[in-house]
Amino acid sequence: MVRVDNLAKELKITRGSFYYHFESRQDLLKGILDRWRLKATEAVIAGLKKKSLSSKEQLVELMLLPLKGDKSFEAASIEISLRAWARRDDMARAAVDEVDRYRIAFIEQLFVDLAHPAEQANDLAYLVYSYMIATSLLHPNDSLSNQNARAKRLSDFLSDNCPLLDCRFRPHAH
């Protein structure tokens, strides 16, 4: 639990200085959640759009995010902490739920742009999002180049313009 007294002491500031910047402890916590949403979601999506990548290229970039070294490890650590906090706090839960919906909707639109039907696009978006979260939590034993290659193969497989059950990558039943 974040306590103003402890935080002020750790930062070597007075309680008054803390309250100059934040109206309350709740205001600080809301600020933490807002900053996380901005940096870990809105800025990432804006950065992808700014690059003028195709939908498939954006999908690959997203799937590679958890593999981007120290920066992604730090982001994953923050994400884990916020998700743990959200398990016991309604305000944090609402923020995490909002971010999850926003991220999944963005990924879903990439699949729609790749000509997948809406329901399938939503399922694929959920799958990609789950992959990204799981990848950020795992400490794989294989090399970064193997992990990158896997992410690219998966994005190729998932972004192919075909129904999942009739995909050219799947063997046909005889």
What are the structural domain ranges in the chain? 30-166
Work out the angle between the directed axes of helices 90-113 and 55-64 (0-180°, nearest 10): 140
Q: What pLDDT score was predicted for residue 172?
A: 42
pLDDT, tens only, 77-128? 899 999 999 999 999 999 999 999 999 999 999 999 998 989 999 999 999 9
**Contact present, 91 and 33 (Cβ < 8 Å):** yes
Q: pLDDT tens across 127-174, in order?
A: 999 999 998 888 767 788 888 888 888 888 887 755 554 544 434 443
- How high is the pLDDT of residue 173? 40
The pLDDT value given to residue 10: 66
What is the predicted pLDDT for the residue at 171? 40
Predicted TM-score (pTM) of this structure: 0.80
pLDDT at 144: 82
Confidence of residue 36 (pLDDT cuts 50, 70, 90): very high
Residue 24 banded pLDDT, cuts 50, 70, 90: confident
Task: Determine the pLDDT at residue 70.
Answer: 80
- Whether pLDDT at 48 is above 60: yes
Distance CA(42)–CA(33), nearest Å, equals 13
Residue among 66, 88, 86, 87 nearest 77 (CA): 66
At 45, the pLDDT band (50, 70, 90 cuts) reads very high
